[in-house]
Amino acid sequence: MFKQMKLQNRIAVVTGGSSGIGRGIALEFAREGAKVVVADIAEEPKRGKYHEQDTVSTTLSEIEKSGGEGVFLQADLSEESAVNTLIDAAVTRFGGLDILVNNAGIHVPGNSQEISVADWDRVTGLNLRGVFLAIKASVPHVRKSDFGRIINIASIHAFGGGGGPAYAPAKAGVTNLTRDIAIEVAPDSVTVNSICPGYIETAIQDYLTDEDIENCRRTTPLPRFGTPWDIARAAVFLASDDAAWITGSAITVDGGWTAVL
């Protein structure tokens, strides 16, 4: 039976698309028919010591291998000029913009006494300020779309402490920025939602110890960790017509982690 593609010919920008969750989202969007701009600081995927050890091929090569259409654009998502250039290039390349996925992010471990002010600024500069910059540059274009969608990747750490004094507040800010922008663009039928992942098997987990990972395993009720595919399918849903009346929401995809709380 012919499978109807949920995102046929829609134009999407996925930040942090070379690795991890962003890579998973970009690949699933392409499989669902979207034209995907993979935006990242580097095209080569990250490889981790716990997860994604064998990831070698670029996201774009995988998109093209599956018959999809895309382009890689290098961009530092913490820099306003770079973000503006990225969005302008995406619109020029494909003729518009329907979907923005704000996924680019970093984590620097350490408590308030260990993390430097410079690293605090670096984390919040990308994880929160960078999301705002991409939204600011994209809103004029997604407003023109018949399928305008903005999806922000936050975290379950948005709802509590434990993620560090920079990462957790930045992700909490992303969930509230999501609500604010959702109200702003609702008259144009653009939806804005955030996804809050739990433990996902990506290279970003390299800062953890084996004991930390085992604690996360015990905290997750479902009997496995999440994968980029799990987040990607939630993103496909939010980007599709099926979610046309969902906006301003923070959707947890965490294997039940927050249910325990």
Active-site residue, selected from the candidate residues 50, 167, 199, 207: 167
- Is residue 199 among the annotated active site residues? no
Q: 3-state SS of the chain?
A: CCCCCCCCCCEEEEECCCCHHHHHHHHHHHHCCCEEEEEECCCCCCCCCCCCCCCCCCHHHHHHHCCCEEEEEECCCCCHHHHHHHHHHHHHHHCCCCEEEECCCCCCCCCCCCCCHHHHHHHHHHHHHHHHHHHHHHHHHHCCCCCCEEEEECCHHHHCCCCCCCHHHHHHHHHHHHHHHHHHHHHHCCEEEEEEECCECCHHHHHCCHHHHHHHHHHCCCCCCECHHHHHHHHHHHHCHHHCCCCCCEEEECCCHHHHC
Active site residues: 167
